[in-house]
């Protein structure tokens, strides 16, 4: 079997736990460089450690190993219904609101080091009705790009993610042990120069096996990865959802937030943070029609 760039593979030494795409083959070193298809992980592996997955088996393989996204969406929808009832009562002091209400969820700026994940996450943001501006920005370029995009978008929530990894032989407290964690840290620091208040700009940063403690210390509200485990490609979206739809009167419950992610508390953690969601009255006919204001 000849492994080529673009092939889909798994690793025998890891029990074929993750599906990768081959992004480069070094024939002299007999090593392939890999990118996780639905996990935010970059890796390399000896060619003789790889098992090729045929194109026709890819979606069957992903279905076998993926989490139940539809069940997650149902849980989120139910939580939003309860939140809407609670907010309407707090807003009006009545069980029945004859005027109608409208919602303003927090706006998200999402920078992702993987162009494929930008498309994947944007689709999920749309499903979850989260206003988002998503861009493909390489991890090493994020520190330079983040403030310009923050000024342009004026978001409530900033997501900085892509790929990362932790060396097996590395030390947890050294940046040299991580592939991209230093870029996430530098980007968070730049963002905090622009907005210091953690409740005015909520930040999530990190990817698979990232330097959790350093990212939080830099000023992030939420980060990966406390136990240096892999996180799913869509996990940052579920973090953004919780911040976007949590009321400005309430703090985001971190345990409640991570239950919607695939990686859970071992993959994502954070600090007490106010939500970004606002509700208003009355709901006008123009709002119902989705009126665009001309400026």
Three-state SS for the chain is CCCCCCCEEEEHHHCCCCCEEEEEEECCCCEEEEEECCECEEEEEEHHHEEEECHHHHHHHHHHHCCCHHHHHHHHHHHHHHHHHHHHHHHHCCCCCCCCCEEECCCEEEEECCHHHHHHHHHHHHHCCCCEEEEECCHHHHHHHHHHHHHHHCCCEEEEECCECECCCCCCCCHHHECCHHHHHHHHHHHHHHCCCCCCCEEEECCCCCCHHHHHHHCCCEECCCCCCCCECCHHHHHHHHHHHCECCCECCHHHHHCCCCCHHHCCEECCCECCEEEECCCCHHHHCCCCCCC
What's the mean pLDDT in 131-159?
97
What's the mean pLDDT in 119-129?
89
What's the mean pLDDT in 28-47?
83
What's the mean pLDDT in 199-213?
96
Residue 276 pLDDT more than 50? yes
Look at residue 277 in the predicted model and tell me its pLDDT.
Answer: 93
Question: Band of the pLDDT at 17, cuts 50, 70, 90?
Answer: confident
Between 23-32, 177-186, 195-204, 236-245, the lowest mean confidence (pLDDT) is in 23-32
Residue 238 pLDDT more than 50? yes
Residue 23 pLDDT more than 90? no
Between 11-20, 35-44, 194-203, 227-236, the lowest mean confidence (pLDDT) is in 35-44
Look at residue 256 in the predicted model and tell me its pLDDT.
Answer: 83
Question: Band of the pLDDT at 295, cuts 50, 70, 90?
Answer: very low
Look at residue 234 in the predicted model and tell me its pLDDT.
Answer: 87
Look at residue 4 in the predicted model and tell me its pLDDT.
Answer: 85
Structural domains of the chain, ranges and CATH numbers in brackets: 8-64 (2.30.30), 68-280 (3.40.50.2300)
What's the mean pLDDT in 45-61?
77
Look at residue 93 in the predicted model and tell me its pLDDT.
Answer: 60
Question: Band of the pLDDT at 241, cuts 50, 70, 90?
Answer: very high
Look at residue 91 in the predicted model and tell me its pLDDT.
Answer: 60
Higher pLDDT, 79 or 223: 223
What's the mean pLDDT in 241-251?
92
Between 86-95, 107-116, 134-143, the lowest mean confidence (pLDDT) is in 86-95
| pLDDT tens for each residue of 165-196 | 998 788 888 999 999 999 999 999 999 999 99
Q: Mean pLDDT for the chain?
A: 85
């Amino acid at each position: 079997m000849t492994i080529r760039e673009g092939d889909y593979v798994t690793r025998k030494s890891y029990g074929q736990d993750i599906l990768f795409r081959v992004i480069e083959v070094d024939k002299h070193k007999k090593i392939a460089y890999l990118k996780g298809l639905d996990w935010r992980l970059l890796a390399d592996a000896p060619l003789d450690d790889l098992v090729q997955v045929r194109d026709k088996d890819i979606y069957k393989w992903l279905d076998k190993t993926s989490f139940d996204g539809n069940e997650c969406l149902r849980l989120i929808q139910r939580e939003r219904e309860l939140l809407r009832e609670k907010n309407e009562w707090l807003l009006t002091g009545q069980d029945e609101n004859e005027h109608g209400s409208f919602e303003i969820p927090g706006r998200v700026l999402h920078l992702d080091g993987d162009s494929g994940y930008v498309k994947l996450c944007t689709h999920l943001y749309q499903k979850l009705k989260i206003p988002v501006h998503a861009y493909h920005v390489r991890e090493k370029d994020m520190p330079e790009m983040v403030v310009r995009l923050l000024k342009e978008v004026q978001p409530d929530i900033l997501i900085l993610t892509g790929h990362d990894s932790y060396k097996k032989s590395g030390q947890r407290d050294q940046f040299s042990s991580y592939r991209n964690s230093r870029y996430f840290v530098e980007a968070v620091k730049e963002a905090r120069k622009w907005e210091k208040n953690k409740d005015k700009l909520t930040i999530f940063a990190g990817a698979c096996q990232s330097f959790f403690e350093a990212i939080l210390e830099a000023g992030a509200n939420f980060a990966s990865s406390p136990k240096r485990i892999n996180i799913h490609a869509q996990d940052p979206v579920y973090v953004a959802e919780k911040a976007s739809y949590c009321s400005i009167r309430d703090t985001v419950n971190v345990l409640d937030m991570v239950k919607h992610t695939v990686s859970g508390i071992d993959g994502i953690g954070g600090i007490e943070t106010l939500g970004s969601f606002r509700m208003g009255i009355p709901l006008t006919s123009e709002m119902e029609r989705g009126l665009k204001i001309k400026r």
